[in-house]
């Protein structure tokens, strides 16, 4: 399975309109393409701007190609209605292989966008890079360490382990879903904005980002 991660920035005063447009237009286009597996939208406020991420899941590269433009790294969201909402004239998209998936079967369901900016759940995102020749080994380490610890933490709703190879370097993105910041503190401690590393990470990672990113889950649209 693949994940397409779309990045855009919206003026804060237009966020509600933009999310409504995503829900009524873009999200409804996805299920029309065979191979669609679901989507989330996340937002993070930064002053008068809002960073929006739209994560969609596809069963194969062929299914994703059928939906995306011929240039797979460009966004397909070029509707005229977006122009006065988006700060970036050409938002971008990245593509990752889904290498680990865990969804808590007892977690409350995240429903569709309801007209308010936020569903009350939190997404935590961490990035790390390793030499590609160590990627398979690092993935096994993640399964035994971070992935297992995430899933064992009360309040964790799900885990998406993502991977992308580029020129001998493999990038991992870990996206985890949580019911609250209180739940995140159970995993990361009181200083939850800091990245949580294990001693063995030094044997794999090329650098250590000190911080992670947190976003509010504003839309959940399962296939």
Q: Each residue of 135-164: pLDDT tens digit?
A: 999 999 999 999 999 999 999 999 999 999
Q: What is the sign of the dihedral through the CA atoms of 186, 189, 191 and 195?
A: negative
First to last CA, the chain: 13
Distance CA 31, CA 4 (A): 14
Gap between the Cα atoms of 116 and 73, Å rounded: 30
CA-to-CA distance for 193 and 211, rounded, in angstroms? 6
- What per-residue confidence (pLDDT) applies to 79? 57
User: How many Cα atoms within 13 Å fall on the side-chain side of residue 101?
Assistant: 8
DSSP codes, 82-99: GTTTBSSSS-EEEEEEEE
Q: In the chain, what is the greatest distance between 2 CA atoms, to the nearest angstrom?
A: 50
The residues spanned by each domain of the chain are 2-222
pLDDT in tens, 94-127: 999 999 999 988 776 665 544 444 457 999 999 9
What are the residue ranges in the chain where pLDDT is below 50? Answer: 70-77, 113-118
Residue 223's pLDDT is 61
CA distance 64 to 93: 12
Residue 93: predicted pLDDT: 86
Structural class in CATH, domain 2-222: alpha beta
pLDDT of residue 85: 80
| pLDDT for 69 | 56
Residue whose structure tokens are 């920035």: 9
**Euclidean distance between CA atoms 220 and 54, whole angstroms:** 10
Q: Which alpha helices (H) appear in 71-213, and where do they start and end? A: 135-144, 146-152, 181-188
For residue 73, the model assigns a pLDDT of: 44
Taken as a whole, the chain contains a residue count of: 223
Q: Determine the pLDDT at residue 70.
A: 37
In this prediction, residue 120 carries a pLDDT of 76
Q: What pTM did the predictor assign?
A: 0.87
Which strand (E) or helix (H) includes residue 16? Answer: helix 15-21
How many angstroms separate the CA atoms of 222 and 61, rounded? Answer: 19
pLDDT of residue 72: 44
Confidence at residue 169, expressed as pLDDT on a 0 to 100 scale: 97
């Amino acid at each position: 399975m693949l994940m397409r991660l779309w990045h855009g920035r919206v003026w804060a005063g237009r966020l509600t309109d933009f999310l409504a447009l995503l829900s009524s237009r873009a999200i409804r286009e996805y299920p029309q393409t065979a191979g669609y597996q679901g989507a989330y939208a996340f937002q993070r406020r930064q002053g008068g701007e809002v960073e929006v991420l739209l994560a969609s899941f596809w069963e194969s590269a062929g299914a994703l190609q059928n939906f995306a433009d011929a240039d797979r790294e460009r966004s397909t969201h070029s509707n005229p209605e977006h122009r006065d909402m988006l700060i970036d004239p050409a938002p971008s998209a990245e593509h990752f292989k889904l290498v680990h998936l865990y969804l808590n079967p007892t977690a409350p369901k995240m429903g569709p966008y309801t007209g308010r900016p936020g569903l009350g759940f939190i997404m935590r995102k961490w990035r790390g890079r390793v030499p590609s020749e160590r990627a398979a080994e690092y993935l096994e380490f993640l399964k035994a360490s971070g992935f297992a610890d995430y899933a064992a933490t009360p309040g964790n709703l799900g885990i998406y382990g993502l991977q992308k190879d580029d020129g001998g370097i493999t990038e991992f993105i870990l996206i985890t879903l949580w019911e609250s910041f209180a739940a995140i503190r159970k995993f990361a401690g009181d200083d939850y904005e800091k990245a949580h590393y294990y001693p063995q990470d030094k044997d794999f990672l090329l650098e250590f980002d000190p911080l992670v990113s947190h976003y509010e889950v504003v839309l959940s649209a399962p296939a």
